[in-house]
A and B are shown apart, each in its own frame.
Chain A
Amino acid sequence: MKSSRLIESVTSCAFLVLAFLLLGFGSAAASDSPQKPGHVAASVMVKAVESNEVQLPAEFQMAMYENLVSEIEKSKKFGHVYRDGDQKAAADPNLLTLEVSLQGFKKGSAEARQVTTVAGATSIRALVHLSDGKGQSLLNKNVNGRVLFFGENLRATYNFAKAVAKQVGQGTY
């Protein structure tokens, strides 16, 4: 008799814990939703990478730009991602601008990386600036991209773009 009561109480407790867990997950999921209802997602225009002071090979410059566009699209943080010079962007009232200016670049060697593991790293350092239509700064940060062990040199541009998308994704616009 006692054992049946014990089983009943244990099962009821289990149900209660399960219910609390479900409620918790539900509220967490609600708080993770990117935008509140009624909020219009901003659009962003990714400008071409500027490298006035530091010499950057053309393939790295374009790879940085293409990876930025791709990673920011993947983050789903913005309603639309416009490319540099896109005429459609002029009609967008809620447009942000993402500018990247190169601060440092070191082209390593994939061969040295693959043979020695510790040498030949490729690194990119750039200032990332996000501003709204009025010119107000929303993000101004130095971001690094490196390839240390595996992958060819252009992989540094992918790592850089991922880091930028992460930084941009942390804000609310």
Chain B
Amino acid sequence: MLKWTKSAAAIALLTYSVGAYPQSPQTSGSAQSQRAAPTPTSFKALHLMGFGAAGRNSSGTLAAKSGVLHFQSNKISADVPAASIQVVITDEDSKRLVRGTLQALSMFAPYGGGRFLSLFREKVDVLTVEYRDETGGLHGGIFQLPHNQAPMLKKQLLEQGARTTVPLEQPADQPKAGSVTGAQATGETQ
């Protein structure tokens, strides 16, 4: 009998704490401040390949403005009309914090120091845009963006006429849309 009472009390306490957690004043205040933060209009991005005439592995800024996805790096800029974008997909990945020359030098560090440094990684978003050029040729632009920024850019792109096979994630309280814009669902991760 005592065992039953103890377990029931533990369950009741757990349920109360889980239910009370989102209603605490600290978290609701931070959520309000997050909601109030303006959505950025341009994003730092690393162009991996395939977007217009931009070079591979060139860093710059990516922005969706006036119906065009615009990438600006130090050397070159590239524009693609949002209406010609057939698929926008976001995904997540990670990359090493220590890169470049320091990474190469760290390989010679004693006692596996270089390997140890490989454990320090940062999360990144990967944005893939599939579009057609003026002659109908297929292109695939791939970008790396800071974590949690690709969905924002995807939303802006969709608002400006781009299409996708995978809809944006909706908040939990809203019902999910049944229909998917675009031709086919390919089973991507997000």
Residues in chain A near residue B139, CB distance under 8 A: 66, 83
Cα(A63)–Cα(B127), bound, Å: 12
Contact status B136-A57, CB under 8 Å: no
Contact status A63-B118, CB under 8 Å: no
Cross-interface CB contact of A86 among B119, B136, B140, B186, cutoff 8 Å: B136
Distance in Å from the Cβ of A92 to the closest Cβ of chain B? 13
Q: Give the contact stretch, choosing among A13-21, A110-118, A134-142.
A: A110-118
Cα(A82)–Cα(B48), bound, Å: 21
Question: Given the interface contacts A59-B91, A63-B142, A111-B118, does A84 sit within 8 Å of B128 by beta carbon?
Answer: no
Contact status A86-B137, CB under 8 Å: yes
Give the total number of A-B pairs whose CB atoms are below 8 A apart. Answer: 76
A interface residues, tally (CB under 8 Å): 28
Residue A65, interface by CB 8 Å:
yes
Residue B83, interface by CB 8 Å:
no
Contact status A67-B135, CB under 8 Å: no
Residue A48, interface by CB 8 Å:
yes
Known: A58-B89, A62-B140, A110-B94. 11 other contacts (CB 8 A): A55-B187, A61-B186, A63-B49, A83-B139, A84-B138, A85-B137, A85-B138, A86-B137, A87-B135, A110-B96, A111-B94
